Amino acid sequence: MILLYKHLALYIAKNPYFIIFITLITTLPICSYYIFLPFSFKTDIRRGFAHKNGEAKYEFQVLGDFYNLSVDNIEIIALIIKGKNQTRLPITFEVLSEIERLDHFIQSKASSNNNETIKLKDIYSSRGTFNFLFDAFKMGYDLQKFNYDVSSVLSDNINLSYPNSYIFGHKVFLGSHFFGVKFHNDTSIPHISMIKDVDICSLWYMLNPNTNNQYIIMKDIEKNLFEYFKYDNFSKILNIQIYGDEIANMEMLRGSINTSKMLIFGITGMIAYMFFVFRDIKFLSQIILLIGALASPGFATLIAYSLMGWFGVSINSMMSITPFLVLGIGVDDAFLIYHCWQKHSKIDNCIKRFTTVIQEAGPSMMITSVTNTLAFGIGITSPASQMSDFCICTAVAVFADFILEFSIFAPLLLILNTDKINDTHKEIRQDDIFMEKNGYYWSPYTKFIISKKGKIIVLFITIIMYTLVGVGIKGMESTFQPKKTFPQDSELINVFKNLDQIYTEYAPVTLMINSPPNITNSESNRKFMEMVEKLEEFPESWSKERSYVWLRDYEEYFNKNTKNSSKPLSYELVPKFLNDNYLNDKSVVKYRFDKNGEVKLDAFVIVIINHQKRTWHERGYLLSRVRNLIKKYPEFNVTAYDYDATIFDLIITVPEELLKAVLLTIGCMSIVCFLVVPDIVITSIAIISVTSIALTLIGFLGLLGQDLDIVIMVNILMAIGFSVDYAAHISFHYYKLKVRLRNEINYAKINNEHQFIILSKTFSYVGVPMIEAALSTIICMLPLFLIHVPIVKTFAQTVCLVSTIGTIHGLLITPCFLTTNIFNNYDKKREHYMTVLSNLKLTITDDGKTSSTYIDSKTVNTVFENDNDKEMATSISSGHIPL
């Protein structure tokens, strides 16, 4: 690998201008995609966060087949109606008439595109309007009011109660329209309806645009209605809110645009920090290096976006975070190259100096880029397409940045050939950690790390940290809330609060019976009703009073309308039943007549209504229990449908998917680390450190109120990729110096003096760059905290936490593990003497060459702790032992 980087460095060093030129003429055509097409974000909260292989995919297909719908374009719009100023809504003729006027207004709302004008009612699904039950209630109310106004007497044929009203013998279920119902207390006074007032009234519309143009018009209608109702001008007595997936997409897109705008603040902060890092070189060189450092991640992001476009993948809202991630990684690599360049400032030969820099920085950069690319590459397996596309885009950008760092920033650094102003490095001393300022700075800290006291303190810190981690993880649950994906100043936040209240009373699960029972066979009918009753026995389910199981009503209807009371139950009266109950156009039952003229059922639906205040996690696992129950009755071929099932599938599978992804990621990281650090002990410590960083991150995210969802899953994979930087860099340099020391003195065991030499030098290589990398990454992420979109803040929290936790592991916990000496110290004084002698020789060795140099007693004494060693050190420093 070192040989590869040597050849690469030599080629770049001999052709820096040519490398930059080739990079530009190769990159620009790729990025030309946005010359032909405008840059835009596209998002789909319903399908983008759906489980690609979840059960809901099949369930939606069955629903589409049953209702003859295109499942890709199904859209449900909800109108949430409250009293003015969020007050309760009295059930009066005036209020009901105003709600009816609102319904007509919605249905007639129109828009145009490409010379086509359609109204909302023109794109109803085959199920028609969901509001026929409200219309029936309003009709009953009008009739009862007319009766009372004319004769002061209420009709006995109309009973407007709740949850079921009865109008001329027909049951009208109101549980889908009225919520938070209160009744009149005074029953001695006649009331047109027993319902006094409600907290919320709702209207529902299922849309199914058949063409792309109709879909565009539907989105425009939803957007216009959302903006219109925000001003609350429709009615003097009603407050109206609207929800639809396209409205959520619009708000999510607004958050993405705001995130993109914050990139300028991230770049500004990064520029200021880079000016600080480059402060010791000439101003013109600072400007050029700054442009080069930003150009590499900038071009990398453009390449990724362009490739996504060329391959027909839309840029979704999650990809607005990609530039921030790539900028942080890219600038870190630039810092690494820059520090290596300055560290080797006394190598006079420019090509040799550049080759040394690339050989030293290249493996570290490769670890960073390969591990991050692998982590995001594994994230491509995410069950949610939106997160999968985000991972593809970021993986491409990270890998592209790795290449561009060598083809843009590194050649620029070579061309400038800039050194720090007033550089005070001494000849040949750049490798001597005891003689340089950096070495002296890290020496006390190294002593602390390798001492027993230091290890005890680190152990104590680790115990506290893992205690907090346990508390955080224990409080997390598998869930996902769509409202986390759009700005918290959105009107949809209030809409979701009201929707949550609706779900506490009305959470329907539609069951499609694709192989209807043979009701003439009593055993088949019994088993079917047994399944229904078990579903109604769930704690979350209402009683059969609110379930819609038409077979129960049909059996009663059949018995009433059959002259021969001994005639067995059959489906022969289904057409008449549907007609008499105004269900012909409601697609409740699919039937046909066979060649003998007998009614045969192909499929039908029933609805089980659930309730109770439940989280999305609890709702998801309720659907899972429903699925498990209906699978016990395969003869009926039952399919459960819930509009939110796509999201529930994610909630249900996240723990399993996360475990598989994390194990696969850590396995890949282990292979990469071992290829770079072929030492099983050191590699194991690095992987333990990576795992520790990931677990600590999860725990602290839990303490910050996060739950396990698909976003956290991708965050964790990203964090594992980032965490390898901290663990692997310290391990790589420790291993490299350990091998070098072994080659110098041919030792068999490591003692404290060895540990001090190796670790001090390791810290001098990676300590400052690691801290600078963490700070620059955090600075880049800070603007994202100004975006009031939880999903964006979660990414920012993750990156800042992993930078902080990673630095603590890289500079504290991992070194403690690496320097834990389980071997005995040397017993023979001569062996100890030769070890010390060789250590001192190592400190002044550069590129394999040794120089005879005077070492003062202060420098040597930093290596020794006991009096005998110090006595020996005095002999060496006084010149008795020539080096």
Q: What is the mean pLDDT of residues 104-131?
A: 87
Q: Which domains does the chain have, with CATH numbers?
A: 2-39+253-419+441-474+649-818 (1.20.1640.10), 75-124+127-207+209-243 (no CATH), 492-643 (no CATH), 829-877 (no CATH)
Least confident span in 173-177, 223-227, 762-766: 762-766
Residue 683: its pLDDT value, please? Answer: 86
Relative to beta strand 158-159, strand 164-167 is antiparallel
| pLDDT tens digits, 429-442 | 444 433 444 444 68
Who has greater pLDDT, 743 or 641?
Answer: 641
DSSP 434: T
Strand residue runs (E) in 237-384: 238-243
| pLDDT tens digits, 666-718 | 888 888 788 878 888 888 888 888 889 989 999 999 998 888 877 787 788 88
Strand partners, 384: 51
Q: Does an H or E element contain 112, and which?
A: strand 110-113
Give the whole-angstrom CA distance, residue 843 versus residue 107.
83
CB atoms within 10 A of CB 493: 14
**Residues in CB range of 168: below 8 A, 6 or more apart:** 157, 158
Q: What is the mean pLDDT of residues 372-386?
A: 83
Per-residue CA distances from 854 to 53, 59, 353 (Å): 70, 81, 26
DSSP 409: I
Could you tell me which of 582, 94, 100, 244 has the C-alpha nearest to residue 108?
Answer: 100
Strand partners, 42: none
Residue 269: its pLDDT value, please? Answer: 83
- DSSP alpha helix (H) spans, 594-709: 616-630, 645-676, 680-703
Q: Confidence class of residue 401 from pLDDT cuts 50, 70 and 90? A: very high
3-state DSSP of 710-778: HHHHHHHHHHHHHHHHHHHHHHHHHHHHHHHHHHHHCCCCCCHHHHHHHHHHHHHHHHHHHHHHHHHHH
Q: What is the mean pLDDT of residues 38-48?
A: 73
Who has greater pLDDT, 634 or 360?
Answer: 634
CB atoms within 10 A of CB 790: 20
Residue type (1 letter), 726: Y
Could you tell me which of 810, 729, 783 has the C-alpha nearest to residue 271?
Answer: 783
CA 304-310-311 angle, to 5 degrees, is 90
Per-residue CA distances from 205 to 112, 218, 396, 587 (Å): 20, 12, 42, 15
The upper half-sphere exposure of residue 614, i.e. CA atoms within 13 Å in the direction of its Cβ, equals 19
Backbone angles phi, psi at 405, to 5 degrees: -60, -35
Q: Confidence class of residue 44 from pLDDT cuts 50, 70 and 90? A: confident
Could you tell me which of 597, 630, 579, 210 has the C-alpha nearest to residue 589?
Answer: 579
Residue 106: its pLDDT value, please? Answer: 93
Q: Confidence class of residue 653 from pLDDT cuts 50, 70 and 90? A: confident
Give the whole-angstrom CA distance, residue 695 versus residue 710.
17
